[in-house]
Amino acid sequence: MRAARLIKMVLLLQSRPSMTAAELAHELEVSERTVTRDAQALSEAGVPVYADRGRTGGYRLIGGYRTRLTGLARSEAEALFLSGVPGALREMGLDDAASAARLKVSAALLPSLRDASRTASQRFHLDAPGWFHEPLTPELLPSVAEAVWDDLVLRVSYGRRDAVVERELEPYGLVLKAGVWYLAARVRDGASGFRVYRIDRFLSVAVPVDARRFARDAGFELPVFWAERADAFARAILRAEVVVRLTAAGVRQLPYVAGRVSAQEALSTAVTEADGRVTVTLPVESEDVAYTQLMGLGPEAEVVAPGALRERFAGAARRMSGWYG
């Protein structure tokens, strides 16, 4: 533990002109007294750490000293490629590996380039969760992520609507979609192919005692698999249809209220009426969902069919007319 902290201290000092004891204590998550002891230990070991006294003093390396400890470990290299999503790294338990990797890269850079990480983070930030929803990190996510990184067979139990199911999975990859974590995995029985699991529905996860590794399918590509599965899911839930007449504004707004897949299918068979409006057959999840979605279009949409849904909108229009006179 202390050896890793001493290495991190050297890398911090190598990447900056100087640092105060308070700054080092904050970065290393120790007390300033521990920083003083660590600096003395480094000096005794031959690392030229110099302490500047006074209110503006601090610690620095002298004599152009550069450590050779900047080679990346595999976990650090993998985490570095995910450094654009710091929240996801933290939730998967990879924050320390990513921090060490960034320090090593920074320490290896020329002095004129060492502020690159700071300037980049000031200009670009990725916020994955959707608006108005507080993302919840699944408690079991770090364990699942560890199995994914090491290609370890995972024994899980997860809750369905009516039962608890146990499976042995080959965990291939993690996906963060709108603040929700999913696992792409293959069931060990070999007959079910790849599936998608919501990690917040896992009740328990465990690596078997013998810690078996599985052989990954070389042809599996997570981005391609997820795109295909997400598109299939979006189409599978569209089990009903409504006929809607739209204004030009309604056509533009339709993808935002009904979803991209549903809107694309509807507009592909659109018929333009004499008054300039467009009639479409819109695939929807249900009439209740269609009611909620199409209310968002207000006067830019007229429901033509089915009759029960049209009457529902007519009733809503009469109530609104009464309110507004």
CB 246 within 8 A of CB 301: yes
What is the structure's pLDDT at 223? 87
Best CA proximity match to 282, nearest among 248, 240, 251: 240
- Specify whether the CB–CB gap between 95 and 75 falls below 8 A: no
pLDDT digits (tens, 9 = 90+) for 196-242: 999 989 999 998 877 678 888 888 888 888 888 888 887 788 889 99
Secondary-structure percent of the chain, ordered helix, strand, coil, rounded to 5: 45, 20, 30
CA distance 310 to 24: 67
Are 129 and 135 within 8 A, CB to CB? yes
Tokens read off for 246: 């739209």
- Model pTM score: 0.56
- CA separation for the pair 169, 38 (Å, rounded): 45
The CA-based diameter of the chain, rounded to the nearest angstrom, is 89
pLDDT of residue 178: 77
Q: What is the pLDDT of residue 53?
A: 76
| pLDDT for the residue numbered 253 | 93
Q: How many CB atoms lie within 10 A of CB 144?
A: 23
Give me the pLDDT at residue 254, please: 93
pLDDT value of residue 185: 92
pLDDT of amino acid 98:
63
Both tokens of residue 177?
Answer: 């979609």
Q: What is the pLDDT of residues 263-281, one digit of tens each?
A: 998 999 899 999 999 999 9
Spell out, as residue ranges, where the chain has pLDDT lower than 50: 81
* 230 SS3 class: helix
Count H helices and E strands in the chain, helices first: 13, 11
- CB neighbour class for 15 (10 Å; exposed up to 12, middle 13-18, buried from 19): buried
User: What pLDDT does residue 38 have?
Assistant: 86
> Which pLDDT does position 13 carry in this prediction?
83
51 strand-pairing partners: 59
